[in-house]
């Protein structure tokens, strides 16, 4: 089996897996799992008679166990009664993350510099993911053309576009880590870690969830697909050069054969020469003089 057929097949399968992983990660809400031990907080508030904690325990959404994605915050267990939620496609109660696009009520006027930085990184993260999907779509078009025409140039363009998609999605993942860092280490709002009550901080565990893992797997798989497309382009170019050399090498051994339409005389009558070779041909009763007696 030719090298190009194997590598093109592997590159196609790998790119499909990469797109699937990135799409699932982008669309699902399990990037960060925030496990709040509400029972411990309730016991503490009851013993210390801390009315502020008791009131926030039922009114603030960040006192509830939740999963966080790129667009939604979902509550797999209890859900806060003061937050308006809706059922997501996977039947989980969620509310949207607000990126303030557009900011119709000028809600961002009181944001700090750190909060503004976090907001811009969140917006850029979404934009990079969208552009990476557009790059994958362009790679699909050039890849189909390259496979159909067996064109090394088109396959090379596919490799470059897949590498571009990989870099864009990796940049988006990096921005997500930047948003996470600002939410945990900077003062960017009361619902984020630095402004939580100490008892809430002690009884909350933050862990990366499966959507986050799929996102990074999609980045590395798209990088692998890019290298496979580049390797298959080299294979196609090599096979094409070998075929050209073979064709040119066989041409010099092909000798032109031109039909001979000369005639010769047999028994005084002109007839076509057998085998295409011109006469004269001598027989026992030759028609040529001086033997025609």
Q: What is the pLDDT of residues 198-250, one digit of tens each?
A: 999 999 999 999 999 999 999 999 999 999 999 988 888 787 767 666 666 55
Average pLDDT over residues 176-196: 91
| Per-residue pLDDT at 244 | 64
Residues 6 or more apart whose CB falls under 8 angstroms from that of 169 comprise: 22, 128, 129, 132, 215, 218, 219, 222
- Asked which of 35-39, 124-128, 274-278 is least confident by mean pLDDT, the reply is 274-278
3-state secondary structure string across the chain: CCHHHHHHHHHHHHHHHHHHHHHHHHHCCCCEEEEECHHHHHHHHHHHCCHHHHHHHHHCHHHCCEEECCCEEEECCCCCCCCCCEECCCCCEEEECCCCCCCCCCCCCCCCHHHHHHHHHHHHHHHHHHHHHHHHHHHHHHHHHHHHHCCHHHHHHHHHHHHHHHHHHHHHHHHHHHHHHHHHHCCCCCCCHHHCCHHHHHCEEEEECHHHHHHHHHHHHHHHHHHHHHHHHHHHHHHHHHHHHHHHHHHCCCCCCCCCCCEEEECCEEEECHHHCCCCCCCCCCCCCCCCC
* Domains identified in the chain and CATH numbers: 3-102+114-241 (1.20.140.150)
Query: pLDDT of 68-80, one tens digit each?
Result: 999 999 999 888 9
pTM greater than the 0.85 cutoff: no
Q: What percent of the chain has pLDDT over 70?
A: 81
Higher pLDDT, residue 2 or 192: 192
CB atoms within 10 A of CB 230: 19
Measured at the CA of 97, the angle between CA 113 and CA 42, to 5 degrees, comes to 95
Q: Return the CA Rg of the chain.
A: 38
Residues 6 or more apart whose CB falls under 8 angstroms from that of 102 comprise: none
């Amino acid at each position: 089996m030719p090298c190009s057929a194997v590598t093109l097949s592997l590159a196609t399968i790998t790119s499909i897996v990469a797109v699937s992983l990135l799409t699932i990660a982008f669309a699902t809400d399990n990037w960060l799992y925030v496990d709040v031990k509400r029972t411990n907080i309730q016991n503490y508030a009851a013993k210390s008679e801390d009315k502020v904690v008791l009131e926030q325990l039922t009114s603030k959404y960040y006192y509830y166990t939740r999963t966080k994605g790129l667009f939604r915050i979902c509550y797999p267990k209890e859900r806060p009664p003061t937050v308006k939620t809706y059922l997501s496609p996977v039947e989980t109660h969620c509310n949207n993350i607000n990126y303030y696009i557009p900011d119709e009520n000028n809600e961002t006027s009181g944001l700090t510099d750190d909060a503004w930085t976090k907001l811009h990184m969140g917006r850029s993260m979404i934009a990079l993911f969208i552009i990476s999907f557009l790059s994958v779509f362009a790679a699909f078009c050039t890849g189909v053309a390259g496979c159909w025409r067996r064109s090394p140039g088109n396959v090379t363009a596919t490799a470059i576009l897949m590498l571009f998609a990989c870099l864009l999605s990796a940049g988006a993942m990096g921005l997500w880590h930047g948003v996470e860092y600002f939410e945990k280490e900077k003062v960017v709002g009361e619902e984020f870690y630095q402004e939580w009550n100490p008892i809430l901080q002690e009884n909350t565990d933050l862990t990366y969830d499966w959507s986050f893992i799929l996102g990074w797997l999609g980045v590395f798989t798209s990088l692998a697909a890019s290298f496979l497309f580049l390797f298959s382009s080299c294979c196609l170019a090599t096979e094409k050069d070998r075929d050209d050399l073979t064709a040119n090498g066989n041409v010099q051994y092909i000798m032109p054969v031109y039909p001979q339409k000369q005639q010769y005389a047999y028994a005084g009558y002109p007839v076509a020469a057998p085998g295409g070779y011109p006469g004269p041909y001598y027989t026992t009763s030759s028609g040529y003089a001086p033997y025609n007696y």
